Amino acid sequence: MARIVVDPIARIEGHLRIEAQLEGNGIKDAWSSGTMFRGIEMILKDRDPREAWIWAQRICGVCTMVHALASVRAVEDALQIEVPENAQVVRNIIAGSQLLQDHVVHFYHLHALDWVDVVSALRADPGKTASLAQSISNYEKSSPTYFKGIQDRVKALVDSKQLSLFTQAYWGHPAYILPPEVNLMAVAHYLEALEWQKDFIRIHAVLGGKNPHPQTFLVGGMSTALDPNEPFAVVNNENINILRRLVAGAKKFIEQVYIPDVVAIAPFYKEWFKYGEGLGNFLCYGDYTNGSMKDPSKFLFPRGVVFNRDLSTVHPFDPAQVTEFVNHSWYEYKDGDDKGKHPWEGQTHPKYTGPKPPYEFLDVDKKYTWLKAPRYRGKPMEVGPLARMVVGYAAGQPDIKAAVDGLLKALNAPPAVLFSTLGRIAARALETQVMAKHVVDWVELLANNMNRGKVSIFNAAKWDPSSWGASSRGFGFHEAPRGALGHWVDIEGRSIKNYQAVVPTTWNGGPRDTQGQRGAYEAALINTPVAKADQPLEIMRTIHSFDPCIACAVHVVDAKGRPYTKLNIG
Amino acid sequence: MNESPVDSPAFPKTRTVVLGLGNLVHADDGVGVHAIHRLQQDPRVPPHVTLMDGGTMGIALLAHLSGTRRLIVVDAVDVGEPPGAIIRVEGPDLSGLPGKPSVHQLGFADLLITMQLLGEPPDEIVLLGVQPESTAWSADLTPKVEAALAPLADAVLNQLEAWG
């Protein structure tokens, strides 16, 4: 039995490492190890809870906004604050557009190259590519001249050898099976998506402030002022029109490019409806409402749990049943590692006992990761787009049901295909489609409220700490693009006593627990075929289908060996 | 305040941007962002210069960098110098930095490439870097890197002055 290791970036940045045990041509067992060392609680301890979100949004390098949102919600839950409808709507638009942008970028820029062979695209016939594109969508950029232009541009880029984006894939691997024309179409849309997302995310600049990090969150609501006739208000008629243009463009791109591409590519890779989902347990905290966060019945993504792939029953979610284990993680609990702890009782005492780098393999019988192992009612759970679509489908949420049934019909496949790597990719596309429609509606609701004079967006009743109790605890949650995100805050007096964040990638990428139950990545890899042990593209396909985020990033540029000038100080 | 740059499909390529990168909760990793905060209080920075706290975002920054003609990036840089050393890397020497397409985030190297891919690379790019001592969890810089902040700000101003 060969052990293979996928450790893409052994540099200082946060990263993920997979060790897989091969037997024959398939994976017998797997271990997931992340360098995400959770230390946000040390940063937040003793701070004013009203400014926790400013620090919390730096937890993750990329998904900053989602932590800001979970953090204000945790404090609002602790202090029992209800925010006005406009605040919910603005948060929905900000978070919903983050989800749209994230999922498109994931599909085209972070995952497509596991399926699409850029080099093969250079051999495509632009005329045939145009016929293919026109047969699946009304998207206007589909002429032979357009695809020829893309082909020339990509050729120049590949020849220049400067593109790290394109150079680290397994080109020519036998598992790439798309015809050259499909590859060319996908590569063209890779470039279109890059251009589109750049324009689209300006929506955050309208509602979140010009700084790349949103600045308009407040415990109690948002600081985005509404006034139809005030040029200096953030939400006025002029900016509503910008929002309308951007969300309409998003809806069009998703309906005319992203969804048709998924439907066109999936049939070639139908085999991947058989692999890549291992747990069968799905958890969704639920999210997206114009009303109270305390009323899950109004959530667009229904709250609930599905066990053992049983779509006939959605179990209610009880936040008290979340625990985290550290028996395989580089932490120690002061009273022993044999039991899990609820996040409110959470402890973060790092204790690295792994091998000293450089090393060949981790000692997976002992502690082998910086990720804790979260469990729900003692069971490992998958979170994310697939969990949301599975729970939403089982709960009969009308938009989700229509989207899922539509896709299954187009692919002539039963619901069981969802439980797979390709099912996870499809689920992400489907929720993007569902979300686009709702973001459009939220912009109209905001415009309507504003023009009727309903402009309240901040509830100041509990802003003054003298209005708080002696101590309180809150759970803030958000269905982030990668899945269920929870922040737990414990407030004593006017400051934070304890703070814990359980992020989606901890649910999915975490290790085994005291009962030896695997985490979601680990379980998903079992029985996956691997054609070439030295080029484990199949492992990438399944792990990337989760959209792993171990990006609680540090950002040191690795410039060793480059010419530089040293500047004298003083 | 409400000039709505967000709605211009493309800026004319005239902007000068100082982009601070790094993570404020990882000690010296945040030096670029600390430098931006310092420059925001510095009256010597010419008004036409945009100071931007980019955090650790990758291609999400593309929207904010549209129309950039001259770009100074301030970041922690590992070149094996003693902690606090300030270094300067220019233009062509920056191309082909190790990218990281294998995990979900796309870093600074990929940001430069995508600007090129979209046909709007800045005409000039200068990286001003500080060798970090620690990138452990902390909201504070280590003393040697803290001491480098003032000369780092001067280095940014010198570069801006050289560009005129």
Check residues B25 and A274 and name the one with the higher pLDDT.
Answer: A274
ipTM of the complex: 0.73
Domains and CATH numbers, chain A: 3-553 (1.10.645.10)
Check residues A156 and A296 and name the one with the higher pLDDT.
Answer: A296
What pLDDT is recorded for position B74? 93
Show the CA angle centred on residue A423, arms to residues A323 and A177, nearest 5°: 130
The answer, yes or no, to whether residue B9 has pLDDT greater than 50, is no
Rounded to the nearest angstrom, the minimum Cα separation between B13 and chain A is 16
* Dihedral, CA of residue A374, residue A378, residue A382 and residue A383, to nearest 10: -60
Residue that is written with structure tokens 């787009």 in the block: A385
Domains and CATH numbers, chain B: 15-163 (3.40.50.1450)
- Tens-place pLDDT, residues A158-202: 777 665 555 556 777 888 999 999 999 999 999 999 999 988 988
Give the one of A15, A101, A562 whose C-beta lies nearest to B103's C-beta: A15
* Closest to A544 (Cα-Cα) out of A3, A2, A8: A8
Would you place residue A563 in the very low, low, confident or very high pLDDT band (cuts 50, 70, 90)? low
Region A136-155 average pLDDT: 94
What pLDDT is recorded for position A482? 94
Give the one of B21, B26, B105 whose C-beta lies nearest to A62's C-beta: B105
What pLDDT is recorded for position A43? 85
B contact residues 34-73, partner A, Cβ 8 Å cutoff: 52-64, 66
What pLDDT is recorded for position A562? 62
What is the β-pairing status of strands A26-34 and A16-23?
antiparallel
**Helix, strand, coil fractions of chain B, as percent rounded to 5:** 35, 25, 40
What pLDDT is recorded for position A169? 65
Give the one of A39, A163, A212 whose C-beta lies nearest to B64's C-beta: A212
How many contacts, defined by CB atoms under 8 Å, are there between A and B?
237
- d(CA A263, CA B17) in angstroms, rounded, equals 41
Region B73-77 average pLDDT: 90
**Residue % of chain A over a pLDDT of 90:** 69
Confidence (pTM)? 0.90
- d(CA A458, CA A480) in angstroms, rounded, equals 23
The chain B residue lying nearest A543, using CA atoms, is: B103
Q: Are A91 and A97 in contact (CB under 8 A)?
A: no
Would you place residue B5 in the very low, low, confident or very high pLDDT band (cuts 50, 70, 90)? very low
Interface contact A567-B155, CB threshold 8 A: yes
Q: Are A57 and A68 in contact (CB under 8 A)?
A: yes
The answer, yes or no, to whether residue A558 has pLDDT greater than 60, is no
Q: Are A498 and A505 in contact (CB under 8 A)?
A: no
Would you place residue A496 in the very low, low, confident or very high pLDDT band (cuts 50, 70, 90)? very high
Q: What string of DSSP letters covers A311-329? A: TT--BPP-GGGEEEE-TTB
**Helix, strand, coil fractions of chain A, as percent rounded to 5:** 45, 15, 40
What pLDDT is recorded for position A161? 66
Interface contact B32-A555, CB threshold 8 A: yes
Identify all chain A residues contacting B116, using CB atoms and an 8 Å cutoff. 162
The answer, yes or no, to whether residue A260 has pLDDT greater than 60, is yes
What is the β-pairing status of strands B49-55 and B124-130?
unpaired
- d(CA A54, CA A76) in angstroms, rounded, equals 15
Identify all chain B residues contacting A570, using CB atoms and an 8 Å cutoff. 151
Retrieve residue A162's tokens.
Answer: 């400067």
- Tens-place pLDDT, residues A30-77: 999 886 666 777 889 999 999 999 988 877 666 789 999 999 999 999
- What's the Rg (C-alpha) of chain B? 15
What pLDDT is recorded for position A17? 82
Region A436-444 average pLDDT: 98
Which DSSP letter does residue A415 get?
A: G
The answer, yes or no, to whether residue A298 has pLDDT greater than 80, is yes
Q: Which among B102, B116, B126 is the top mutation candidate for probing chain A, defined by the most A β-carbons within 10 Å of its own β-carbon? A: B102
What pLDDT is recorded for position B95? 64
The β-bridge partners of B128 are B74, B88
What pLDDT is recorded for position B100? 44
Lowest mean pLDDT among A109-113, A325-329, A486-490: A109-113
What pLDDT is recorded for position A38? 65
The answer, yes or no, to whether residue B1 has pLDDT greater than 50, is no
